Structure 1
Amino acid sequence: MMKNKNILIVMLGLIVGVFGCADPDLAPILTFDDAKKAGYVKLIEESDKLVNVLDEQSARASTYTYSVEFVDQQNGQRVEEYYVNLVYEPVSGSDQTVDKLISFTQADFVDGPNGLRAKENISVTGDQIMNALGLSFADLSPGDNFVFKGYLTFEGDGAVYGADNASAAVNGSAFAGHFDFTLPAACPSDLTGSYDYDGSLFWCNAGSGSGQVDIVAQGGGVYHFSDWSFGAYTSCYGGIDNSTSLTFTDVCTEVSFTGTVDKYGDTWNFTSTIVGNDWTIIWDNTYGESGSAVIHYTGGANWPITLN
């Protein structure tokens, strides 16, 4: 970590030496290989990144919108072209590439909010992606990735810069570099909330208990329960001592248990069924603990998930 910090300090020192009072917006342009005076793509704002593969209509209507500005020694004036290639990385099968799915020249740019040349409200749709790759909806699978690789071409020498020949400082979050980005094929998932449950069959013969359990999002459709014992730890030990490494994952409404080892190294086994409003989970682990719970979906509605 110190090595990286020292490199960044040296590069920033070079910038101050060249420009005098360094402009923070121009600071990273000398962190490219060999300290060439180039430039980079800087993110202004963006929407959620997702190709929703719940159904074909949702997939084709999925839209990612973003705005960027171009950082160089002349406030983006040296950028001749900004283009983005698409690389399709399916869960199974071979990668495919489409060159210049997106392409803009200086004539398409505007003066951005920070005094730099910018391109605002760039949109990429699922329909555009599928058509460019020649894919049908049936070809898509959750877990596929659509990787976008951006490049800048500069006037004069025609030099081309992208993430591959930019420094870690430019590509990192500190300078909001946005050469490359990825749209995953997935489904939006939001199961967060508090749910009533009825627990029973506790291993310590403490009877049963009812209460509320929280489903907590960990990102990317991964969740954990606030109490995986569903009241058993409270009855048997007097409190909750749980591990967030125990997780389940929702992939386009299909749920599976994906994290089964707790913080003590014990493995948990789950038998699960969903019928209407009731999600029944019977569990045990290698420490000898066990129990059962019926979790009720809010408002008496059916659970909007199935089990994988």
Structure 2
Amino acid sequence: MLKYSFGLLLGALVFLSSCRDFVEPNIPYSEFDTGAYLRTIARTSTTFNFFDLANSKFALTLEVVDAEDGATLETVAINVQHRRLIPGVGLEYTPTEPVLIKTLSASDFATNTESRFLRSSFEISADEAIAAVGLTPADIEGGDVFEFSMVLTDKFGRTFNRENVSGNIAGAPFYDSPFQYFVSVICPSDLGGTFEYTATDMDSVYGSCPGTISGTITFAPITTSPGSYRISDGTFGFWNCYGDSWGSGDVRLNDACGTLTMSGADKYGASYSMTLVSVDDTNLVLTWLNSDGETGTATIKSNADKPWPSNLK
């Protein structure tokens, strides 16, 4: 029994000693300097709708994290800058440096029931952002981006921003504190569905199809490419007239802020393009053409509960 008890005691001592921190020299944890960051709790709205700028906004809920549960915060300055990609040139910024658009003070941050840190929710309208950078709504184009950047100043006079935040704090999901947010001007597109169509004027060197063809066509949204739709038959039934079938072609209808184009290729590698002839609530009329010289005109009917958008061109 004595040997058994001694063995247990010795084992316990070895186990406990193995849990000790043998790092030398001892690190003075109490003397570490601490900073502050803004954890992103909710991205309520981070896009501007090109077709509804008047009701678009940038809105976030932020949480200030520091050694005093948020109490060291003095202000959060929010700056904005507009950018546009100019093909063949690069990014164009307006103005050349970010400008102040809003300042949050310590009183704008309050306690909450989910954490011990202080939180603030705010919003900035698209009209405010556009005016701040010296532009008007008429100057804005789909694809433009508004860069919002933040500068946190604490009661010790220190500042924390996108320039001095570490990559882990900025991008790691737990911290999510980039100190900058990119708000894109998007053009929502909703052309997906299955529609009835009538095809006419179909012709090619391989054969023609006199008269008309009626059928259904599907525009399937491509989730990885917003505004693009895979067309179930890029010839709108033309190939069926002379004994061929669409098969594995990948031709797309593209909606870029209302401007319609056709792209992609059929199973033979021929590329596709289109011209919009006319559009109203009920009928979308287009003429398609491929690089093999095949062509046709399709009149596509809208569904009863979903008229064609008035901005298509």
State whether TM-score is above 0.5. yes
Q: 1:38 is matched by which residue type in structure 2?
A: G
Q: 1:107 is paired with a residue of what secondary structure?
A: helix
Q: Following superposition of structure 1 onto structure 2, how do residues 94-133 of structure 1 map, counting pairs within 5 Å?
A: 95-96=94-95, 97=97, 99-133=99-133
Q: 1:60 is paired with a residue of what secondary structure?
A: helix
Aligned length: 270
Residue 101 (structure 1) shift: 1.6
Residue 260 (structure 1) shift: 4.7
Alignment-derived partner of residue 165 in structure 1 = 164
Say which is worse superposed, 88-97 or 188-197, in terms of deviation. 88-97
Is 1:248 matched with 2:248?
no
Judging by fraction of residues, say which structure has more helix. Answer: 1
TM-score (structure 2 length as normaliser):
0.69
Is 1:270 matched with 2:278?
no
Change over 3 Å in CA distance of 1:114–1:83 after alignment to 2: farther
Q: 1:129 is paired with a residue of what secondary structure?
A: helix
Change over 3 Å in CA distance of 1:269–1:258 after alignment to 2: closer
Alignment-derived partner of residue 56 in structure 2 = 62
Q: Following superposition of structure 1 onto structure 2, how do residues 10-25 of structure 1 map, counting pairs within 5 Å?
A: none
Tell me how far apart the structure 2 counterparts of residues 88 and 172 of structure 1 sit (CA, whole Å): 23
Q: Is the 8 A contact 2:192 2:221 kept in 1?
A: yes
Tell me how far apart the structure 1 counterparts of residues 266 and 33 of structure 2 sit (CA, whole Å): 50
Change over 3 Å in CA distance of 1:262–1:145 after alignment to 2: farther
Q: 2:103 is paired with a residue of what secondary structure?
A: strand
Change over 3 Å in CA distance of 1:94–1:262 after alignment to 2: farther
Q: Find 2:65's aligned residue among 71, 74, 77.
A: 71
Change over 3 Å in CA distance of 1:173–1:297 after alignment to 2: farther
Q: Is the 8 A contact 1:147 1:181 kept in 2?
A: yes
Is 1:303 matched with 2:308?
yes
Tell me how far apart the structure 2 counterparts of residues 274 and 215 of structure 1 sit (CA, whole Å): 22
Change over 3 Å in CA distance of 1:164–1:94 after alignment to 2: closer
Residue 87 (structure 1) shift: 0.8
Alignment-derived partner of residue 44 in structure 1 = 41
Q: Is the 8 A contact 1:233 1:240 kept in 2?
A: no
Alignment-derived partner of residue 149 in structure 2 = 149
Tell me how far apart the structure 2 counterparts of residues 108 and 263 of structure 1 sit (CA, whole Å): 60
Q: Is the 8 A contact 1:69 1:116 kept in 2?
A: no
Say which is worse superposed, 280-289 or 139-148, in terms of deviation. 280-289
Q: 2:158 is matched by which residue type in structure 1?
A: A
Q: CA RMSD in A?
A: 3.8
Q: Is the 8 A contact 1:234 1:240 kept in 2?
A: no
Q: For residues 136-174 of structure 1, what are the alpha-carbon distances to aligned partners after superposition, in whole Å with 9 as ceiling and x for unaligned?
A: 333333333221012222333x33222333333333362
Gaps of 5+ in 1: 1-17, 21-34
Q: Answer with 1 or 2: which has the greater Rg.
A: 2
Q: 2:169 is paired with a residue of what secondary structure?
A: helix
Q: 1:172 is matched by which residue type in structure 2?
A: G
Q: For residues 235-265 of structure 1, what are the alpha-carbon distances to aligned partners after superposition, in whole Å with 9 as ceiling and x for unaligned?
A: 7554542326x341231xx323174567986
Q: 1:286 is matched by which residue type in structure 2?
A: S
Q: 2:163 is paired with a residue of what secondary structure?
A: helix
Alignment-derived partner of residue 197 in structure 1 = 197
Q: Is the 8 A contact 1:53 1:185 kept in 2?
A: yes
Q: Is the 8 A contact 1:144 1:185 kept in 2?
A: yes
Q: Is the 8 A contact 1:98 1:132 kept in 2?
A: no
Gaps of 5+ in 2: 1-26, 87-91
Alignment-derived partner of residue 78 in structure 2 = 84
